[in-house]
Amino acid sequence: MIDLRSDTITRPTEAMRAAMLEAPVGDDVYAEDPTIDELESRVAALLGHEAGLYCATGSLANVLGVAAHVAPGSEVLCDSGAHIARAEMGAHGALTGVTMRTWVTADGRVDPGQIAALLSPDAGPYLVSTSCVAIENTHNFGGGTVQPWDALVAATSLVRDAGVGLHLDGARLWNAHVATGIPMGEYGALFDTISVCFSKGMGAPVGSVLVGSSEAMAAARVRRKRLGAGWRQAGILAAACLYALDHHIDRLADDHAAARAFAAPLRAAGVEVAEPETNIVVVPTGDRAAAEVVAAASARGVALSAVGARVVRAVTHLDVTEDACADAGAVLAAVLNTRSAA
Q: Alpha carbon of 313 to those of 28, 128, 240, 279, 328: distances in Å?
A: 37, 35, 27, 11, 12
Q: For residue 28, give the amino acid letter.
A: D
Whether pTM > 0.75 for this model: the answer is yes
Rounded distance between C-alpha atoms, residue 229 and residue 94, angstroms: 16
Average confidence (pLDDT) over 211-227: 98
For the cut 60, the answer to whether the pLDDT of residue 341 exceeds it is no
* Mean pLDDT of all residues in 74-80: 97
The confidence score (pLDDT) of residue 180 equals: 98
220-272 per-position pLDDT tens digit: 999 999 999 999 999 999 999 999 999 999 999 999 999 999 999 999 999 99
Fold of 14-246: Aspartate Aminotransferase; domain 2 (3.40.640)
User: CA-to-CA distance for 66 and 61, rounded, in angstroms?
Assistant: 9
The 10s digit of each residue's pLDDT in 95-137 is 999 999 999 998 999 999 999 999 999 998 999 999 999 999 9
- Location of each CATH 3.40.640.10 domain in the chain: 14-246
pLDDT digits (tens, 9 = 90+) for 160-189: 999 999 999 999 999 999 999 999 999 999
Judging by beta carbons within 10 Å of its beta carbon (0-12, 13-18, 19+), is residue 247 exposed, middle or buried? Answer: middle
Residue ranges, CATH 3.90.1150.10, the chain: 251-337
Which CATH number is 251-337's, of 3.90.1150.10, 3.30.450.40, 3.40.50.150, 3.20.20.70? 3.90.1150.10
Reported for 266-270, long-range contacts at CB under 8 A and 24+ positions apart, including other chains, are 266/329, 266/332, 266/333, 266/336, 268/333, 269/333, 269/334, 269/336, 269/337
